[in-house]
Chains A and B, each alone.
Chain A
Amino acid sequence: MHLRAPALANPAAFLPAADPIAKLGAAVIVMAVAFASRDPVTPAILLAGEGVALAGTGLRPAAVGRLLLPLVVVATLLGTLNALLAGTSAVLPTDGTADRVAVGVALGLRVAAIALAGILALATTDPADLAAGLIGHLHMPARLAVGALATLRLVPVLAIEWQSIGMARRARGVDAGRNPLVAARLAFTAVVILLVSTIRRAARLAMAMDARGFDSGTPRTLARPPRMRRTDWLLLLATAVLGVVAVAVSVAVGSWAFIFG
């Protein structure tokens, strides 16, 4: 099991430097428009806009490729499956092959547009900044946001511990060999051990946080208060324009179809 955070090539690039909540808002706009449309034109235009935004991530092309590969595979698979099965669906009654292909393509594009919006927002955001944004802009309780943040830090530790448990068992003469039943039973007990040690670790972390006054009840301040700058408003505005243009073009070429239409 290998977990690694996507390395940001340049933290000063446009998207990594943008306010996390502005990015989240922009992603929500794109997702909402893509979700509402059932035609291929709207998500295609959204995707084109997201393609431009990729340039603002500051990621190296290889890293972009790694991010996009699973997305392309899943979207293609979903689209193809839907094209094949579309005729049997009651929601989308179609007959001609061209219609089926159109349904498949539209769905593939929509899934890609929605997923890419989320990826763009999250892959360029430091979790600590996101937590500060959630507390600062959206007034989320610090207990929740900072707690989740601290927990996130323990995820790689968990991966290492999982490997260690597997090896420790081999050292006891226990391995599953080729028996999937034994493997399942071993995995279950390993999960229990992992759970126990995670709870202990979390308790220690909580104690360390409280020892530094996290539970004191004093109103917290923020070391990096999030600030919406002009570029952040611009990002939101540009995204809104993108959404409007996508729908307008789609309507103009006569392709627009509302999801509940």
Chain B
Amino acid sequence: MLLLGASGSGKSTLLTHIAGLSDDRGGGESEGDLRVFGGAPMAARPRTAMLMQDPESQIVMSRAGDDVAFGLENRGLPTDEIWPAVRAALQTVGWPYSPGRPTDQLSGGEQQRLALAGVLALRPDLLLLDEPTANLDPDGADALRAALVRILETHPLTLVLVEHRVAEWLPLVTRVVVMAEGGAVLLDGSPEAVFVGHDELLDRHGIWTPDHSGRRPARPLIAPPVESVIVAEQLSARPPLADRPIFTRLDVTVRSAEALAVIGPNGSGKSTLARLLGGLLRPQSGEVTASEALAPGHAGSVIWRWPARELVTRIGSVFQDPEHQFLTGRVADELALGPIRAGLPETEARRRATELAERLRLDIVWEANPFTLSGGEKRRLSVATALATAPHAVILDEPTFGQDRRTWDEMLSLLAGLVDSGRAVVFATHDRALVDALADRTLTLRSPAEV
């Protein structure tokens, strides 16, 4: 069963309630009756298992086998029965390593498959999946789905899945339930019954349909000139905590009026490259320099050496986690901060902030604390803050990560608008649909193992 809904419809909350994991002590309210296997969700917990979005916070132990064993230890299984069960669970998910494999040496996709083995070892009758592939690259996501298909062939279990993107999951799904904002059930039925003939309704609620693909707004008749903006030569980088470089001797040129997509598997260095091109990180070797178009009179200057206040007027960077970038307690201040830091007079900074807020539908939360916004609003705010200083180049890390369809569509037209106005746009992503719709050029990074 596939559970769909707009941001804020409470899909994940429902899932934690079914799993018997809701915590009423933390405030919040719940009412109504929920029965799992004919009883209270809490009592049904031995028969339910749940796989969550973030692989990093689901692994408990430092070795793969120990981690799968963790649930079995909690069940009180005798020691000599634990290891055969661990091996069987690892085999079901197609585990390519030994059980002794350290968990901190796994890619996101491998961690997620390990977490799946950990819950399957408990032989659940009901498996709850909360956006299990959101953090994974396409290959990792395919491997996880393949493991699930194999499991469904041999174990007759009930699957409840929360996802934004539906096309890849359809082969596994026999029933689709669509929730509206606020939690009401909009549609409930087979995939055909739900998706055929309800385009307009689903569209209005910002829900992904299997055949939805974004269309870029038309390009302007007179295209702005394409010229070099940032030049990276012979770049090598090592991410924090890694032993070896992720890429070596990489040459990249970022050009104005062009969208450059950076793709590649988890751990191939997309985020690191985005930070290097954004002047936020010093490369291990090689240089990232500005072209004349980016810094008139300073062509060839090394961008990681620039003071922050000069950097923001030329390059805007948007991080994957918007919260890392928030510095004030009000949306209005957040938007005005960059321009003020860059030396603009207060009134001009406020004017720009107001204009951006209207363009990105942030005026309704003008007085709100950035940390209290919804996921889509946080994303729009983090992009807006990067645009507030009118930079010539904008670099984004996973700009569509975890967004519902409405925010996705908005992000696409916003980025296309930047390109059409002559800005350089670089985006690192797993999102094939975004690459197809937006990218003028694509740079593919390989996984470090292949280098």
Judge whether A213 and B75 touch: CB under 8 Å: yes
How many residues does chain B have at the interface if contact means C-beta atoms less than 8 Å apart?
68
Is B281's CB within 8 Å of the partner chain A? yes
**Are A223 and B74 CB-contacts (below 8 A) given A164-B319, A172-B341?**
no
Complex partner residue of A205 from B46, B50, B58, B240, CB under 8 angstroms = B58
Q: Residues 183-194 of chain A: 1 if any B CB is under 8 Å from the residue's CB, otherwise 0?
A: 000000100010
Judge whether B78 and A128 touch: CB under 8 Å: no
Is A89's CB within 8 Å of the partner chain B? no
CB distance from B247 to the nearest CB of A (A): 18
Q: Residues 176-211 of chain A: 1 if any B CB is under 8 Å from the residue's CB, otherwise 0?
A: 010000000000010001001100011011011111
Q: How many angstroms between the C-alpha atoms of A216 and B75 in the bound complex?
A: 8
Complex partner residue of A153 from B62, B76, B307, CB under 8 angstroms = B62
B-chain residues with CB within 8 Å of residue A220 when the two chains form the complex: 73-74, 76
B-chain residues with CB within 8 Å of residue A127 when the two chains form the complex: 62
CB distance from B91 to the nearest CB of A (A): 17
- With a 10 A CB-CB cut-off, give which of B19, B49, B275 has the most chain A CB atoms: B275
Complex partner residue of A207 from B21, B65, B74, CB under 8 angstroms = B21
CB distance from A249 to the nearest CB of B (A): 41
Q: How many angstroms between the C-alpha atoms of A216 and B42 in the bound complex?
A: 10
Interface of B is mostly: helix
Is B241's CB within 8 Å of the partner chain A? yes
Which chain B residues in 378-418 approach chain A with CB under 8 Å? 385-386, 389
Q: Residues 1-18 of chain A: 1 if any B CB is under 8 Å from the residue's CB, otherwise 0?
A: 111100000000000000
Judge whether A160 and B324 touch: CB under 8 Å: no
Q: Residues 160-178 of chain A: 1 if any B CB is under 8 Å from the residue's CB, otherwise 0?
A: 1101110111111111010
Judge whether B60 and A177 touch: CB under 8 Å: no
**Are A218 and B75 CB-contacts (below 8 A) given A149-B60, A173-B311?**
yes
B-chain residues with CB within 8 Å of residue A224 when the two chains form the complex: 66, 79
Which chain A residues in 138-176 approach chain B with CB under 8 Å? 146, 149-150, 153-154, 156-157, 159-161, 163-165, 167-175
B-chain residues with CB within 8 Å of residue A197 when the two chains form the complex: 323
Q: How many angstroms between the C-alpha atoms of A168 and B58 in the bound complex?
A: 26
Complex partner residue of B389 from A173, A210, A212, CB under 8 angstroms = A173
Complex partner residue of B57 from A128, A159, A204, CB under 8 angstroms = A204
Complex partner residue of B76 from A154, A171, A221, CB under 8 angstroms = A221
Is B428's CB within 8 Å of the partner chain A? no
Q: How many angstroms between the C-alpha atoms of A153 and B312 in the bound complex?
A: 35
CB distance from B132 to the nearest CB of A (A): 12
CB distance from A196 to the nearest CB of B (A): 8
Q: How many angstroms between the C-alpha atoms of A205 and B72 in the bound complex?
A: 17
Judge whether B77 and A221 touch: CB under 8 Å: yes
Q: How many angstroms between the C-alpha atoms of A196 and B342 in the bound complex?
A: 29
Is B104's CB within 8 Å of the partner chain A? yes
**Are A160 and B76 CB-contacts (below 8 A) given A171-B312, A173-B309, A201-B57?**
no
CB distance from A246 to the nearest CB of B (A): 36
Complex partner residue of A173 from B58, B78, B338, CB under 8 angstroms = B338
Q: How many angstroms between the C-alpha atoms of A161 and B62 in the bound complex?
A: 20
Is A222's CB within 8 Å of the partner chain B? yes
Q: How many angstroms between the C-alpha atoms of A218 and B49 in the bound complex?
A: 17
Complex partner residue of A219 from B76, B240, B342, CB under 8 angstroms = B76
Judge whether B280 and A171 touch: CB under 8 Å: yes
- With a 10 A CB-CB cut-off, give which of A126, A168, A193, A214 has the most chain B CB atoms: A168
Q: Chain A, interface size: which category?
A: 35 or more
**Are A174 and B241 CB-contacts (below 8 A) given A126-B62, A167-B280?**
no
Is B122's CB within 8 Å of the partner chain A? yes
Complex partner residue of A212 from B65, B122, B309, B341, CB under 8 angstroms = B122
Q: How many angstroms between the C-alpha atoms of A157 and B321 in the bound complex?
A: 14
B-chain residues with CB within 8 Å of residue A201 when the two chains form the complex: 54, 56-57
**Are A167 and B281 CB-contacts (below 8 A) given A172-B312, A209-B60?**
yes
A-chain residues with CB within 8 Å of residue B63 when the two chains form the complex: 126, 128
A-chain residues with CB within 8 Å of residue B230 when the two chains form the complex: none
B-chain residues with CB within 8 Å of residue A205 when the two chains form the complex: 57-58, 60
CB distance from A131 to the nearest CB of B (A): 9
Is B253's CB within 8 Å of the partner chain A? no
Is A61's CB within 8 Å of the partner chain B? no
Judge whether A207 and B325 touch: CB under 8 Å: no
Looking across the interface, which residue of chain B has its beta carbon closest to that of A200? B57
A-chain residues with CB within 8 Å of residue B50 when the two chains form the complex: 208, 211
Complex partner residue of B278 from A1, A169, A171, CB under 8 angstroms = A171
**Are A165 and B240 CB-contacts (below 8 A) given A170-B308, A204-B57?**
no
Looking across the interface, which residue of chain A has its beta carbon closest to that of B312? A173
Judge whether B327 and A150 touch: CB under 8 Å: no
Judge whether A3 and B241 touch: CB under 8 Å: yes
Looking across the interface, which residue of chain B has its beta carbon closest to that of A197? B323
Is B71's CB within 8 Å of the partner chain A? yes
Complex partner residue of A164 from B58, B66, B324, CB under 8 angstroms = B324
Is A65's CB within 8 Å of the partner chain B? no
> Can you name 27 A-B residue pairings with CB atoms under 8 Å?
A1-B240, A126-B63, A128-B63, A153-B60, A153-B61, A160-B241, A164-B321, A165-B324, A167-B275, A167-B280, A169-B327, A170-B308, A171-B316, A171-B325, A172-B312, A172-B338, A173-B308, A204-B58, A207-B16, A208-B50, A209-B60, A211-B45, A211-B49, A222-B73, A223-B70, A223-B72, A223-B73
Q: What are the 7 closest A-B residue pairs judged by CB atoms, nearest first?
A: A173-B312, A212-B71, A173-B341, A223-B69, A213-B74, A171-B317, A168-B324
